[in-house]
């Protein structure tokens, strides 16, 4: 049996052992990235290796699962898997996501503790070498302020689908007590709670570092069946959710080398032009954050639409130019004044 086929079988076995409901043949084919007929042959092979594998009737279909889990022999992690786990925890720590990082570190310790000593001794040297040779760089930016107790209460409310109440401090609004239906949490450069105010229609984002005195209410807050957190997040370029607009950008020749491995939006459509440029289209809100991002592309991007984005970047550019020019002139004036004072001091000393 080829090495790749063995890896597919092990992947499928682990998935079947980790599924409470089991998988249909079509789902098994999707997991292993094979055709249905190949999935049927793999299922037959797994029945020979794992005689405890059972099939469960589900209407006209059958679901297969391996009850009781797998022996540790089949579940020993590889060096690259342990390295990836360590790097993920490291990235969260360096990015300020302490609570998530601690959860991964706890998982990492449990995985190491579950390994038998011979297996641990075998992979330890390679793992140490890998950890010393790889590093995830964390870009400059705001670090989220975390509150473990707040996160725990939010997760409790989300799982119980219970409404919450908290004091919220906005930048441009007075401090108010808000009652919110919690739909989810988004982690990033800032951490946000997602959900509408009770009796409100508009889904909003609430910065966790501005939430205080949170308590659970004795009122249910069911998420709509059609609400999908990734879809909601993708509606905005960043975290400012306003009315979405159709964005059209042209990547000029100078930017094509950078654009090869770049993505502006998860749902973007790219049209490569005969002149060697590329047109990027996507629909999103958050034109201010997009304007900030486009500054990093300098003269490599042309804004075609919307007009609001063009106006936003011109306004931000003019504001930044005015600010830095005024400070430059002030510093230059101070420097001239200092030089004049110095000359005066020297002159008076000679007298």
Query: What number is the average pLDDT over the span 77-98?
Result: 76
Q: What is the pLDDT of residues 320-343, one digit of tens each?
A: 888 888 765 665 555 555 554 444
Interacting residues of 331 by C-beta distance below 8 A, sequence separation 6+: none
Q: What is the pLDDT of residues 121-137, one digit of tens each?
A: 777 777 777 666 655 55
- Residue 344: predicted pLDDT: 41
In degrees and rounded to multiples of 5, residue 111 shows phi and psi of -65, -45
Q: What is the pLDDT of residues 209-239, one digit of tens each?
A: 889 999 999 999 888 888 888 878 777 665 5
CA-CA distance, 183 to 285, in Å (whole number)? Answer: 20
- Residue 337: predicted pLDDT: 55
């Amino acid at each position: 049996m080829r090495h790749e086929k063995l890896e597919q079988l092990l992947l499928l076995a682990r998935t079947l052992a980790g599924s409470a409901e089991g998988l249909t043949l079509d789902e098994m084919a999707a997991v292993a990235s094979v055709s249905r007929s190949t999935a049927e042959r793999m299922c037959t092979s797994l029945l020979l290796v794992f005689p405890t594998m059972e099939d469960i009737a589900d209407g006209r279909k059958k679901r297969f699962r391996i009850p009781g889990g797998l022996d540790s022999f089949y579940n020993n992690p590889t060096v690259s898997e342990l390295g990836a786990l360590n790097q993920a925890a490291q990235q969260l720590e360096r990015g300020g996501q302490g609570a998530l990082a601690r959860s991964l570190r706890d998982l990492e310790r449990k995985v190491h503790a579950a390994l038998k000593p011979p297996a641990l001794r075998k992979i330890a040297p390679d793992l140490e070498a890998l950890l010393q040779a790889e590093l995830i760089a964390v870009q400059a930016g705001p670090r989220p302020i975390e509150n473990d107790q707040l996160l725990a209460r939010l997760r409790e409310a989300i799982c119980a689908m219970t409404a919450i109440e908290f004091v919220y401090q906005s930048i441009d609004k007075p401090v108010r007590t808000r009652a919110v239906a919690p739909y989810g949490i988004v982690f990033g450069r800032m951490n946000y709670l997602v959900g509408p105010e009770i009796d409100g229609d508009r889904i909003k984002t609430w910065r966790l570092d501005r939430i205080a005195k949170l308590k659970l209410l004795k009122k249910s807050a069911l998420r709509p069946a059609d609400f999908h957190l990734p879809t909601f997040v993708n509606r905005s370029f960043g975290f400012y959710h306003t009315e979405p607009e159709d964005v059209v950008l042209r990547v000029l020749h100078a930017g094509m080398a950078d654009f090869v491995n770049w993505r502006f939006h998860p749902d973007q459509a790219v049209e490569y032009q005969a002149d060697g440029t590329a047109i990027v289209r996507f629909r999103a809100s958050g034109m201010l954050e997009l304007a900030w991002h486009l500054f990093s592309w300098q003269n490599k991007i042309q804004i075609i639409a919307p007009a609001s984005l063009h106006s936003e970047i011109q306004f931000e550019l003019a504001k930044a130019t005015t600010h830095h020019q005024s400070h430059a002139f002030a510093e230059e004036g101070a420097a001239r004044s200092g030089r004049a004072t110095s000359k005066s001091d020297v002159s008076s000393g000679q007298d």
